Amino acid sequence: MQKNESVTVTIQDMGVNGEGIGRVNGYTLFIKDAVIGDVVEARVTKAKKNYGYARLMNIITPSEHRVEPVCKFARKCGGCQIQEMSYEKQLEFKQNKVLGNLERIGGFSRDRLSEVFGPIIGMEKPFGYRNKAQFPFGTDKNGQPITGFYAGRTHDIIANTDCALGVGVNREILEIVLAFMKKYGVRSYDEKTGEGLIRHVLIRYGFATKEIMVCVVVNRGKAEFGNCEELDCKNREKAECRKREELNCENGEKAECRNCEELNCENGEKAECRNCEELNCENREKADCGNCDKMDCEKLDRVNRGNRGTKGLESGSVMGLRWIPHQEVLVEELARIPGMTSITVSPNPRQTNVIMGERYEVLWGQPFITDYIGAVKYQISPLSFYQVNPMQTEKLYGLAMEYADLKGEETVWDLYCGIGTISLFLAQKAGKVYGVEIVPQAVEDARRNAEINGIENAEFYVGKAEEVLPGYYQRYEKEHPGERAHADVIVVDPPRKGCDEGLLKTMADMQPERIVYVSCDSATLARDLRYLCERGYEVKKGRVVDQFGMSVHVETVCLLSKLNVEHHIEVELTMDELDLTAAESKATYEEIKNYVLEHTGLKVSNLYIAQIKQKCGIIERANYNLPKSENSRQPKCPPEKEVAIREALEYFRMI
């Protein structure tokens, strides 16, 4: 097969990223935008020895599963990889993808998986389901600001303010921001030069409450104080206004901070807000417009919903800090949208692909919106992790609750707990729940969420799950000689990379009766389930839940139970009997080859794998793939295949 060669291909399968897979005389081609069952004409764009990539040129015979996409940008945009495939076929593809990884990487038999897993749980409406969207901003060829989503595998913005997966109000918000930028000459951020101001706009929407949040991510580290760059103030970052006389406080010269507890004056409690007349409450002099939950007034609920109006925005900068030129105009326009509850700005001056800054500032309204999953109420800040599909999340968490099988006395650990979404669900039926999350702001949100729901049996800790739980286990052993820390149920909902091996070991050592594993990546799920099943657990139940219609991503929840020793026996075998090294026992050569092929498209031989294992210090068995004589020559593993094999060895935790 040669580059630029045109071929006719029947699409037989789909890859992990949604690309069609077809074969021509045994040669494998990956073709973006092709659907299982299509017969297509494609042009080869990249050709390797055993596989290649091709561009879809023409659909000769469309598949029975091919549908007209809802969005006209579906092929260009990188957000919806499989929108041209019927939703029923999408669900089948996702179920098979999960089970295939569990079989190939986890080592589970297909028969066993058929017994354990129920059918995939799909959506009633696979469009308009996302409660969160992050829109990058850029500049078109005419120098005008644009926003939308990145084209697949690029940072080229496809201009589109009406994503089919998001809520309808997104378009109105984005059009307001774009019109504002054009009117006042506010520039979009340029990744190449590091110049420009507006990087992203984050929009969150509460499906149950109809509350809206807008957070503008800006390319700057500090706000201006009016137009004065020479303000001589030690607390410049905390200064609330340009002129101290604007503060209604006898000791105004000391009232430089926004938070009342930092004010060093007798009337500090009255210097909390800039324009007290904006608040409709009897005790407005005590009202803190940034933290409504601290308000001491009878009409707290009304103010909490963001019914502050826009009075006072016309004069000066919002909250006294100017992050965006003429920001009061932008805020006033956004605040008119029904349901608008929170308008914030997140400074991010770093040249990075990370979207959000490390903090945010309130421009108007609350620093959060609220929403419900089931009966549990959550406060969601700009930096909070919160599942993007609330309808499916309730089904997912319902399964997690069912699998946990709580009776009211259990001790539960919830690892990677975020803002406490699963923790608070479980706390309704558990004796005690401990949540662990690495993001401090998320833990603050979790504690606040527990408080507003009246939940007193949940505690939250800041830190890495792979450090907090093992640390707790080790301390408990030291403080209680002869005993070991125990949990009745452990719930994990890790990022795509899965769980750290040290964490998995501690989980197994704590011997919980049940482990509930919620996963957004079935490959790392399969790897981690294999590890736990080698240490006394078995998979009892599992379901795939489609949280992300039109994309290749999917969630899976599994229940693992501790093996009943009365019904299982242990057989002790020495390594000599098995003729395996410890590292070799983690993955077979066939599994390594399959992993490399799936993730890189490269085919590698047993010989190449053996060579790289030896390089990595993994001792091979005697006489394995050695040359027949000292003068014999063996082919050496090419550099690109060595990189791919090393990645596989790392994935299987062999190095």
Instruction: Write out the H or E segment, with its range, that includes residue 58.
Output: strand 51-61
Which tokens belong to 582?
């410890």
Closest to 333 measured CA to CA, from 509, 179, 550: 179
Find tokens 């014999």 and name the residue: 632
Provide the 8-state DSSP code for 238.
G
Which tokens belong to 350?
């770093």
Instruction: Write out the H or E segment, with its range, that includes residue 212.
Output: strand 212-218
Which residue out of 297, 520, 558, 637 is catalytically annotated?
520
DSSP string across 154-177: S--EEE-S--TTS-THHHHHHHHH
d(CA 21, CA 13): 5
Residue type for position 66? R
d(CA 329, CA 213): 17
- Residue 368's φ and ψ, nearest 5 degrees, are -155, 165
CA dihedral 626, 613, 649, 510 (to 10 degrees): 110
Query: What does each C-alpha distance from 114 to 534, 542, 646 come to in angstroms?
Result: 20, 10, 33
The number of CA neighbours under 13 Å toward the Cβ of 440 is 2
Q: Are 466 and 502 in contact (CB under 8 A)?
A: yes
The length of the chain, given as a count of residues: 655
d(CA 49, CA 327): 57
Strand partners, 383: none
Give the number of other Cβ atoms within 10 Å of residue 402's Cβ: 14
Q: Are 408 and 386 in contact (CB under 8 A)?
A: no
Which tokens belong to 473?
């286990």
Q: Are 287 and 297 in contact (CB under 8 A)?
A: yes
- Residue 292's φ and ψ, nearest 5 degrees, are -60, -25
Which tokens belong to 541?
């139940």
Active site residue 520: yes
3-state DSSP assignment of residue 438: coil
Give the number of other Cβ atoms within 10 Å of residue 500's Cβ: 18
Query: What does each C-alpha distance from 438 to 358, 369, 480, 568 come to in angstroms?
Result: 13, 22, 27, 38
Residue type for position 103? E
Closest to 80 measured CA to CA, from 164, 205, 138, 14: 164
d(CA 359, CA 348): 9
d(CA 393, CA 555): 10
Which tokens belong to 270?
């009255």
Closest to 460 measured CA to CA, from 444, 472, 484: 444
Q: At what angle do helices 589-600 and 639-651 cross, to 10 degrees?
A: 110
**Catalytic amino acids?**
520
